[in-house]
Amino acid sequence: MEYTHLGRTGLKVSRICLGTMNFGSFASDEESFNIMDRALELGINFFDTANVYGSEKGVGYTENLIGRWLEQGGRRDKIVLATKVHNKMGEGVNDLKLSAYNIRRACEDSLRRLKTDHIDLYQMHHIDRETPWDEIWQAMERLVSEGKITYVGSSNFAAWNIVEANYTAKQRNFLGLVSEQSIYSLRNRHIELEVVPACKAMGVGLIPWSPIGGGILGGVLSKTNDKQRRGREALQKSVEKLRPQIEAYEKLCKEINHHPADVALAWMLNNPVVTCPIAGPRTVQQIEENVMASSLKLSEDVIKKLDEIWPGPGNQAPEAYAW
C-alpha cells in the first residue's frame, strides 16, 4: 500500500480510503467487521463514515457498528478515522446543518457511537448557506482545542465554498479545510472545471466518492444479472444511455487485460490532486480488488484513450468554455 499526505498536512493516509456507507445496509455486521479487519491487514489506514449512514436501521447505525469494531481493542491508533456532520439526525429544528449548537452536539454523539475520544477528520457533509463561517469555525476551533477533532474537511462543496471557508479560517489563524470529498469519476468529471483547481491552489486533498461511477465503470455489461446497490432499473437506464461509451471502455479494459473497476481507480490515482478515492465494498473480495488496483499504472496512451471515451471539460474554468 502506498501512502500520501492529506492535503497540505503532515498526516499520511493510504491511497485507498475505506468507505463504510454500505456497512449495516448492504454488508451484514459480520461482513463489515471482516472488511475492516482485511482492510487493516492490507495497509488501509483511512476509514471514512458519516453520522447519517445506516439510518434505515436507526440513527447512527454505521458509526455504532464501527464503534463495536474499535471496542475490540488495538485498532484505534492504527487508523485515521473520519466522519461527517450536517444531515438530519433527529426531529428537532436544530438537529441538522452547521450551527455551532449542532456541530457541538453532533460531534459528542459521534464520539459516543464510535467509542473513541477523538475524530481525526471531521467533515462538513454539505455546505450550510444559512450559518456564517465565523460561527462554524468558532465551533470547530473549540473542538480542536478540546482534543475532540484534529482536522476539518468538507464534502460536496463548490470551489468558491472551499476558498471562502479557507480565507475566513486564515483570518482567524485556523488551519481551515484540509480535504474535500466530491463525486468524481471518469463518468462524472464536472469538478475538473473549478473544484480540482481550487483544491490544488488551496492545498486541499481531494477524496473522490463514487469513483466507479455508480457501478457504470465496474464492468456493468458483464453483470447484468447481479443485484445492484442503486437498483437494477436505475442502473439499466444509465447503461442504455451510455452504452456506446461503456462498450468502448470495457473493450479497452479487455485489451489491456485489467478489470474495468481497477482501471477507473488507477485513472483517478494518476491525478496528483487526488489524495485517495473512497472504496465502498460490500465484501472482503471487493476491498482486496480495490487495493490491487492502487498499484496499477496506466500508460499515457491508455489515459489518452480513456479521455476520448469519457471526455472531461478539457480544461479548467474559464478556459474550458470562454475561449
List 3, 53, 122, 321, catalytic entry = 53
Q: Which amino acid is at 246?
A: I
114-140 mean pLDDT? 98
Number of neighbours of residue 4 by Cβ within 10 angstroms: 16
53: annotated active-site residue: yes
Per-residue pLDDT at 145 exceeds 70: yes
pLDDT at position 224: 55
Question: pLDDT-derived band of residue 11, with 50, 70 and 90 as boundaries?
Answer: very high
Provide the pairing of β-strand 80-85 with 46-48: parallel
Residue percentage of the chain with pLDDT more than 90: 89
**Strand ranges, E, within 50-169:** 80-85, 119-124, 149-155
Tell me the pLDDT tens digit for each residue of 13-39: 999 999 999 998 899 999 999 999 999
The interaxial angle of helices 133-145 and 100-114, nearest 10 deg, is 40
In CATH terms, the superfamily for domain 3-322 is NADP-dependent oxidoreductase domain (3.20.20.100)
Tell me the pLDDT tens digit for each residue of 87-98: 999 999 999 999
pLDDT at position 25: 85
257-284 mean pLDDT? 95
220-234 mean pLDDT? 63
Per-residue pLDDT at 228 exceeds 50: no
Q: Which residues of 49-88 are buried (b: 16+ CB within 10 A; e: fewer)?
A: bbbbbbbeeebbbbbbbbbebbeeeebbeebbbbbbbbbe
Q: Give me the residue label for grid cell 453532533.
A: 106
218-246 mean pLDDT? 76
pLDDT at position 154: 98
Per-residue pLDDT at 59 exceeds 90: no
pLDDT at position 313: 95
pLDDT at position 232: 64
- In this prediction the pTM is 0.94
Which of 96, 93, 19, 25 lies closest to 58 in space, CA to CA? Answer: 25
Per-residue pLDDT at 229 exceeds 60: no
Residue percentage of the chain with pLDDT more than 70: 97
Q: How far apart are CA 256 and CA 304, in angstroms?
A: 14
Per-residue pLDDT at 294 exceeds 90: no
Question: pLDDT-derived band of residue 323, with 50, 70 and 90 as boundaries?
Answer: confident
